[in-house]
Amino acid sequence: MKNQVHHSAAAGYKTGADTYVRGRPDYPSPVADWLTQTLGLNADKAVVDLGAGTGKFTGRLLATGAQVIAVEPVAQMLEKLSEAFPEVLAVNGTAADLPLPDASVDVVVCAQAFHWFASTDALDEIARVLKPGGKLGLVWNLRDTQVGWVTKLDAIVNALEGDTPRYYTGAWRKVFPHPAFGPLEAQHFSHGHTGPPEDVIFNRVRSTSFVAALPGAERSKIDEQIRSLIESEPELRGRDVVTVPYETAAFVVVKGG
Question: Which tens digit of pLDDT belongs to each residue from 90-124?
Answer: 999 999 999 999 999 999 999 999 999 999 999 99
Question: Is the pLDDT reported for residue 21 higher than 70?
Answer: no
Containing domain of residue 117, as a range?
7-144+166-193+243-254
Separation between Cα atoms, residue 115 and residue 21, nearest integer Å: 20
**pLDDT for res 53:** 92
Q: Are 69 and 91 in contact (CB under 8 A)?
A: yes
- pLDDT for the residue 12: 42
Q: Is residue 151 part of a domain?
A: no
Q: Specify the pLDDT at position 20.
A: 53
Is 78 part of any domain? yes
Q: What percent of the chain has pLDDT above 70?
A: 91
Mean pLDDT confidence for 82-91: 96
Produce one character per residue of 216-233: b if its CB has 16 or more CB atoms within 10 Å, e if not: eeeeeebeebbeebbeeb
| The model's pTM | 0.90
The Cα-based distances of 61 to 10, 34, 124, 185, 235 in angstroms read 25, 11, 23, 20, 34
Read off the pLDDT band of 24 (50, 70, 90): confident
Question: Residue 257: what pLDDT?
Answer: 53
Contact between residue 184 and residue 251 where contact means Cβ atoms under 8 Å apart: yes
Residue 50 lies in a domain: yes
* Domain contains 108: yes
Residue 204 lies in a domain: no
CATH code for the domain of 85: 3.40.50.150
Asked if the bond preceding 177 is cis, omega within 30° of 0, the reply is: yes
* Separation of alpha carbons 91 and 58, rounded Å: 13
3-state secondary structure of 238: coil
- List the alpha helices (DSSP H) in 25-147: 30-33, 58-62, 75-84, 114-117, 120-129
What is the mean pLDDT of the segment spanning 218-224? 97
Does residue 218 lie in a domain region? no
Q: Is the dihedral of CA 60, 37, 185, 148 positive or negative?
A: negative
227 assigned to some structural domain: no
The residue-averaged pLDDT of 56-69 equals 97
Beta bridge pairs of residue 69: 48, 89
Q: pLDDT grade, residue 204 (50/70/90)?
A: very high
Q: Quick one: average pLDDT of 47-60?
A: 96
Judged against a pLDDT cut of 50, whether residue 178 lies above it is answered with: yes
pLDDT > 90: percent of the chain: 87
CA angle 13, 18, 22 (to 5 degrees): 115
pLDDT on residue 3: 46
Specify the number of domains making up the chain. Answer: 1
Stretch 70-75: mean pLDDT: 95
Give the pLDDT of residue 36: 98
Question: pLDDT, tens digit, for every residue of 119-156?
Answer: 999 999 999 999 999 999 999 999 999 999 999 999 99
